[in-house]
Amino acid sequence: MGEHDTAQAADPIACGEALPDRQTMWAWERFLTGEPEAAIPLGNVVISSWQRSLARGVNPSGREAPIAARGDTILALRHRNRDLIAASRDLFHRIAEVFAGANCMMLLTDPDGVVLEAVGDHRTLGQGERIHLVAGGHWREDVIGTNGIGTALATGQPAQVHASEHFCEGIKSWTCAAAPVREPGSGRILGIVDISGPPSTYQRGNLSLAVATARQIETALAERIGRERMRLLERCLERMPTIGNSELLVIDRTGRIIYSNGKGGLIGVGETVAGFNPEQPVERWFDRMPEPLRADGAFHPVILDDRTVGAMVVLPARNRPAKTAALPAGSEADASRSLFHHIIGSSTVMAETIRRATQLARHRVPVLIQGETGVGKELLARAMHGSLDFSAPFVVFNCGATSKDLIGAELFGHVKGAFTGATTEGRPGRFELADGGTLCLDEIGELPLELQPMLLRALEEGVIYRLGDTTPRRVSVRLIAITNRDMKAEVAAGRFRRDLFYRIDVASITVPPLRDRLDDIADLLAYFNRTLAARHGVAPRIFPIAALDRLKSHDWPGNVRELRNLVECLLLTGSGAVTIEDFPCGRPWPSGSAAPSALLANLEQNAIDTAIRETGGNLSVASRRLGISRSTLHRRLTRMRKSTE
């Protein structure tokens, strides 16, 4: 053997020692000219990396890494890796101070080798810009050849690459030591920590420092994941009363089962769903579940702080004793209020409405639901919410049922003493209560014009201020607005801001009136007859064909709500088969569809009279009890007075 052949044969990456640069350059040149690898005095890790670089077509004359992300793209990349960046932030801040004046820099990359962060000595950072050792630079091995970041990614092991050991000529004036950061639990590589500088900064301790930094970031990540799992579990367990006797599986965002109240044995706690890929859209997570779960289960993503952190799978009860008491039909805690398949209606127009709502429910975009009073707009809103995230809060606020002076405090909250009548401790508003879930604004057309800019700003910026407070509070809500008004006409009349209208009307759904879906009356009638009879503890009524035909001939100005009220009235005032004489007022409905409804007028007037009498004439309180706005109550009272004149 010659002088070069007898040179150090140990692997410089593995042992942390480097060959003299002249010998390494000589070995690199021999490698590129096709000399036998056994005669090249470098360790297997370096040779293997050079072989991969050459096989991938990397140009050995390369001078710099390519830039993979700029501007908005790098912002999106940082957002996608925000957990990794947050876990390393404090550590990188301290290291930046240590490296100042030390001719070193530390970098953090994503799992593809794209630089996310770079801190350290200012002069070295400036030199790094020349070879794109900056945020957005792409340092994967098959892109820029042998280097600390790329080789650590390729091997999954810590790697130290010194000077001429780099494959590309333009970066041989650098030395780097890198270590992978792995996701706690799954072991998936989340990124790389790298220490780089001129060759004079080479020392064995650099690799140890990179490894130690990576381990500290993994520890911080484990703590963050632990807190996230706790919040996920708390959110899911809050829904336990709503699922009755069903089984519940809670999955974190790595695909690991963290809770199960069942004994099906398909997937156990601590196991990971086979083939699970957290990089896939959440809608595809369920595709990886075992067939029995996909066949029977209902899948509900869980969103916290505007990100999907896991999911819950609800399975039908399998002949187990009930754990909770049955909930009354229509209860706020009834899970059926948040499921599409519990919406009754198989008519063509209703099926199309549900199809469109189901499509829109998959996306967190604002939706405007329009339709006449009583058609079931809020029920559709609840189903859309439940389809996206069953466990997140669903907060409803009626913009027309609160006085103008209090709407701001109700929506945005207030601090102590913000206004006369404010609570002594202050409280959050509906936006904060709906954070991470859905805010449903009913009767959006009733929102006072002067408050509309506040709502627009909250929706645009995702930030609200409590009344009397200067502290911004970031919220993430999915908005569903509901109205029975013609909002375009309201905009044209100057009663509703055009910019706010376009902000809430990203997508719209119109719920058809009952007179356009008469084929659904039989199913709705059967449902109300069964559930309301159970609620009141009476026997269901029998509806002969003649009664059903008469119901289908009615014009239903009160829509589904009117039908429900009719059934409840019939259940409480009689029994057995329903006859024409059983209808309120003791007279039949008109057979013509255009005739006015004596039944609706009678029920409506009785309800309004009772509410006003029981609230001592307070129209604001009475309107809230009736579930309508104060202005709507005024209009109906005026109409009733005119009808008696």
pLDDT at 328: 40
- Strand pairing partners for 474? 463
603 pLDDT more than 60: no
In 316-430, beta strands by DSSP E: 367-370, 394-398
Average pLDDT, the chain: 79
| Interval 159-218: pLDDT, tens | 999 999 999 999 999 999 999 999 887 788 999 999 999 988 888 788 988 999 999 999
Torsion sign over Cα 513, 517, 520, 521: positive
Instruction: Compute CA distances 636 → 102, 187, 609, 632, 639, whole Å.
Output: 79, 65, 11, 6, 5
Q: Is the pLDDT of residue 268 over 90?
A: no
**Most trustworthy range by pLDDT among 5-14, 317-326, 360-369:** 360-369
C-alpha neighbours within 13 Å on the C-beta side of residue 238? 12
- The answer to whether the beta carbons of residues 347 and 517 sit under 8 Å apart is yes
Rounded distance between C-alpha atoms, residue 431 and residue 433, angstroms: 6
Which of helix, strand or coil describes residue 178? strand
| pLDDT score of 496 more than 70 | yes
For residue 309, what pLDDT band results from cuts at 50, 70 and 90?
confident
pLDDT on residue 576: 86
| pLDDT at 9 exceeding the cut of 50 | no
pLDDT tens-digit series, residues 428-482: 888 988 888 889 999 999 898 988 998 999 998 888 888 878 888 888 889 999 9
Average pLDDT value for residue range 605-617? 71
pTM of the model: 0.48
The pLDDT of residue 597: 41
- Alpha-carbon distance 599 to 556, whole Å? 10
Residue 381, both tokens: 């809103």
Model pLDDT, residue 7:
32
Nearest alpha carbon to residue 212 among 98, 297, 112, 59? 98
Identify whether the C-beta of residue 338 lies closer than 8 Å to the C-beta of residue 381.
no
pLDDT of residue 196: 95
